[in-house]
Amino acid sequence: MTEQKSYDVIVVGAGPGGYICAIRAAQLGLRTAIVDKQWLGGVCLNVGCVPSKSLLWNAEIAHIMRDRANEFGISCEKLQLDYPAAVKRSRKASDRLTKGVALLMRRNNIDVFLGSAYLSARNMVRVTAEDGQQQEIIAKNIVVATGAHTALIPGWEVDGEHIITYLEAILQERLPKSVVIIGAGAIGMEFATIWSSYGTEVTIVEMLPQVLPLADAEVSAELEKAFKRRRIKILTDHRVQSVKKTQDGISVQVSHTDKELTLEAEQALVAIGFRPNTAGLGLEEVGVELDKRGFIQIDERMSTSVPGIWSIGDVTGRLLLAHVASAQGIVCAENIAAVETVKLDYRMMPSAVFSNPQVAYFGFTEEQAKQAGHEIKVGRFPFLANGKSLGMGETIGFIKIIEDTSTHALLGAHMIGPEVSELLPELTLAWQHGLTSADIGRNVHTHPTLSEVIMEAAHDVEGHAIHK
């Protein structure tokens, strides 16, 4: 082994939680190193959030040209769609951002170690490079940000060709003629959008009663209707019994009450959730407490059960979203440096699904708010009555705002429609600073914009939306 290097902070995992934590620590004057076994930027930048959004933009264009060109006075009689070119474009977007992360590490004087990490002591990380060479580095603080991996059911043999996960799906240049997507969460709904836009026959199987099980029921129902209009088959409340390879592709056996159904397709995408990347890190050996699912237990400071060992991101199981990991990373670094910071309220964190139409939400659903004992008022406004969405030809969906009747505090907002992922931050910012729906409604919104739907929904909470 080479001579040990010493740091104030070692971050294990260079995803959107880890690398941002490292940068914030360096900004606060802490000598910082980061370790990752594969790449800077983690899953999000390399094979997740970023390349998938590139593919979704391609899919949006493909959908308009294939299915809606006549609406816009465009003739596409000899339209040719090159899916491999779309994948190559997504890789360029990913590569550009990951190179940017490497530059940020250099600018902030953060040492980068590529290799597998193992906590050989409470203050020590052993890094094993791909060629087998090992190096031990020590620090007063270690931050574990190792992320998560796709959850699989025993017996479902992922071969990367017929039965795949998001990883193979995002990298493959092959466009499947037909696919069964197992799981109607964000990943499943986004890949359904991508593939169906290029003409793939898509069937989605979800064991719970609605697509996007964590979303507002009214939003989920609207999204399901929109998908069915796009000829995507959806089987909610269906449980997958088996996934098997066949001579021509795959066979998926599903059950619903007392009935069974066999689905056949070229590929099956497994998107049923995630498991933490905690194995082989030495966490339990140094005393880090895990919950029964294997996620690292943390407090509001991002500290684990072991002083000096911290954790952020998907590996904590708090909320498996890149922007939540980033927020945790900043809070963690600030707690390590003992400077002023904030406490995160995971209930009020924003979420978005970049399907077509998009879905975005934060806070309580109507049902959750009532179960929590709130008396509520709800304001709604449809995109169908909005001038900008009419001009875009994107009129599906609505925005719903939930407010406590007595305190007027914002409790949540739920959106489905064009670019709602870009509209949500206005509402989370309003919540963070204690603004009411009346305050939001009084804010003058540029006309004509999609954001006017927020203004109208806010007015509707008080019963005086102008255009409803």
Mind telling me the catalytic residues? 447
C-alpha span between 91 and 53 (Å, rounded): 11
C-alpha span between 181 and 71 (Å, rounded): 30
List strands edge to edge, sheet with 201-206. 163-164, 267-270, 178-182, 201-206, 233-236
Contact predicate 183/240, CB 8 Å: no
What SS3 state is found at 77?
Answer: coil
DSSP assignment of 277-297 equals --TTS-TTTTT--B-TTSPBP
What SS3 state is found at 353?
Answer: strand
Host H or E run for residue 180: strand 178-182
C-alpha span between 313 and 331 (Å, rounded): 12
Place of tokens 């990752």: 36
C-alpha span between 315 and 319 (Å, rounded): 10
C-alpha span between 228 and 205 (Å, rounded): 13
DSSP code, position 314:
G
Tokens at residue 285, please? 């050996």
Contact predicate 460/379, CB 8 Å: yes
Classify residue 55 as left (phi > 0), alpha (psi -120 to 50) or beta.
Answer: alpha
User: What per-residue string of b and e applies to 269-306 under the rule 16 or more CB within 10 Å gives b?
Assistant: bbbbebbbbbeebbbeebebebeeeebbebeeebbbeb
Q: Is 258 exposed, middle or buried (0-12, 13-18, 19+ CB in 10 A)?
A: exposed
- For strands 376-382 and 134-144, give the pairing: unpaired
C-alpha span between 280 and 294 (Å, rounded): 12
